[in-house]
Amino acid sequence: MPSVLRRYSSLLVCVLMLSSPTVFAEVEHRFSGFATLGLAISDNPELAFRRNVTQNDGAYEDNASWKNDSLVGLQWQGRWSPEWEAAVQMVAKDRFKNTLENSIEWAFLRYRPVDGLDIRAGRMGADVFMLSEYLQVGYTMPWVRPPHDYYGIASLYHFDGADINKRFLFGDAMLNIKAFYGNSGEEYPLAINSERGTEFDFDLLGTGASLDWNSWKLRYTYAQVKVNSDQGRQLRNALQQVAPLWPAVNNLIPELESVGKKFDYNQFGISYDNNIWWAQSEFVKLDSELALVADGKHFYASVGRRFDSINIYVLGGYAEPQSPLVSITAPAGLPAPLATQLNLLASATERSLNGVRIKQHSYGVGTRWDFASKMALKFQVEEFNIDKTGTNLWLRTDPTTSTSEDQQATVVSIALDVLF
Amino acid sequence: MRNLLLIFTLLLSGLMSALPHAEILVIVNASNSTTTLEHKQIVDLFMGRVSAFPNKQPAQPLDLKAGTPERAAFYKTLTGKSEAQVDAYWATLVFAGRMSPPKQFTDDSALIQAVAREPAAIAYVSRQPLPKNVKIVMELSAR
């Protein structure tokens, strides 16, 4: 599905929803919302902390950032009958590319022919990870934000397409099985405060199951992403031009292609909550055919205890690439001006291939205080260890140099979450 | 630390037992063919896990306004969760767009009127004389 069609289809859903009250006799309207006011402070001068890879600004030494976590979301739900419902959700926040179209997080119609079977069409949440469908609703989670080592890669908020969900009840257990298909796109910034980005358009396909049983929740999701956009063309062209002098690049060029290539997620999640103690953990293995999408393993675990309205927790996680570092050397023995150029090209290629890697681990503590109805205040301190060969969740404060040493960052976050 | 915890727990349980034992009635419209509901079925309905009564008739849970003590007592008795936990849980369903939130009412009499009007409604109120057009499907004793 090309992106033009995607834009068109989400607009269509909106028009349909706005006009629908006149089509159906009786509509029940529900309005609700959520908001977060957050502040992140990081002590590292070289790397800027950001919530995920879609952001082009963040917190670094002497630069506390309120833009990473702060947002306001508004939602309308319309209900015509037990079978038909619609929802539109808009989120205002600091985006890399802030357009009205990008602000529409959901806009879908839901059909429930019988209780326990939901079919939806339009724009909806891509339910790949445990928190995917409420990633931006801080009030739903104990932490200030979804754990960074894991959710830093979760840039995929929504897609335009359809999904189907079937629920089965067995005694105390509830099993949900789902499948989804659609198209989405995202633009990723290339550097801190830069307006330049890499635009991705992709088709998304997935299936998953989740089991709720007393205090336990287990889930598994498989999702596959097929890339439609052409990435790294400039680099491929440059390499193509030097191929007569440097035949080895002929093997490299196809690896840098993106159209029609796939990457996939195998996600596992588990959580436990007995209303006093709670724990949650997720693991995902990302396998990629694309050189410009890093394959890797991401994990986090968190344990907490509630003391009345106070919740205290610890958390930790890691992100690790699956592929080794790439090393590219230009052929030797060429005349000086040419050799310099080829060396530059070799290091540029190496940088863009290795630059997508994510290698870090973290641990932290935090607390959430539910001080009033539908209001929570959070405070969280985390220590990040970032390998010099895997800084992609962060932004270099000086994009002209590369990271030569392993980095450490202490990130202190405060957030106020509300529902309304 | 352990002593502190113990004192805290004792204090908390002392407070809890000092509270009066309130009786909560779960009510539906008199035309509803459902006669009784089990604890788990009420949990499923009020936690948005199901949207129909066991007889497949569509169900619409009605709620008290957030922040009222009766609401907190109902969910605590039913699920063991605090009001903040319940609100956070419901926010996962609502903002995923999976369920629309139960409509909220200011007090018991507004709830009773709404249940009397709406054949699909289910709500909870404190023990009291009820009009003929609503009926009790379960009694909960809250602490």
- Cβ within 8 Å, pair B98-A32: no
| Interface test mutation site (partner A, options B50, B95, B98, B118, max chain A beta carbons within 10 A) | B95
Nearest to A294 by CA among A199, A407, A152, A401: A152
Stretch (H or E) spanning B76: helix B69-79
pLDDT in tens, A223-273: 999 999 998 888 899 999 988 888 888 988 988 999 999 999 999 999 999
Chain A CB within 8 Å of residue B98 CB: yes
Tell me how many domains chain A contains. Answer: 1
A-B Cβ pairs (cutoff 8 Å, strict): 100
Q: So what's the ipTM on this one? A: 0.91
Q: Which two tokens stand for residue A190?
A: 């290339």
Q: Which domain holds residue A388?
A: 3-419
Q: Residue B26: pLDDT band by 50, 70, 90 thresholds?
A: very high
- In tens, the pLDDT along A190-226 reads 889 888 888 889 999 999 999 999 999 999 999 999 9
pLDDT in tens, A334-388: 888 888 888 999 998 988 889 889 999 999 999 999 999 999 999 999 999 999 9
Give the start-to-end residue ranges of the domains of chain B. Answer: 20-142
- Round to whole Å and give the CA distance between B85 and B103: 18
Query: How far, in Å, CA of A58 to CA of A396, rounded?
Result: 10
The stretch A66-80 carries a mean pLDDT of 95
Q: Which class is B20-142 in CATH?
A: alpha beta
> Per the CB < 8 Å rule, is A275 touching B49?
no
pLDDT for B66 beyond 60? yes
In the structure, what pLDDT confidence band is assigned to residue A174 with cuts at 50, 70 and 90? very high
Q: Which of left, alpha, beta for A193 (phi over 0: left; psi -120 to 50: alpha)? A: left
Centre a 10 Å sphere on the Cβ of residue A57 and count the other Cβ atoms it contains: 18
pLDDT per residue over A301-334, tens digit each? Answer: 999 999 999 999 999 999 999 988 989 988 888 8
Res. B18 pLDDT band, cuts 50 70 90 = very low
Q: What average pLDDT does the segment B97-125 reach? A: 94
pLDDT for A18: 55
Longest dimension (CA), chain A: 80
Q: C-alpha distances in angstroms, A399 versus A65, A340, A349?
A: 19, 22, 16
pLDDT of residue A193: 87
Helix then strand then coil, % of chain A, to nearest 5: 15, 50, 35
Asked whether the beta carbons of residue B67 and residue A373 sit closer than 8 angstroms, the reply is yes
Q: Does A23 touch chain B (CB under 8 A)?
A: no
pLDDT at B101: 84
Residues in chain B within 8 Å Cβ distance of A116: 50
Round the average pLDDT of chain A to a whole number and report it: 91
Query: Which CATH number do you get for residue A168?
Result: 2.40.160.10
> What would the two tokens of residue A312 be?
């205290």
Are A208 and A127 contacting, i.e. CB atoms less than 8 angstroms apart?
A: yes
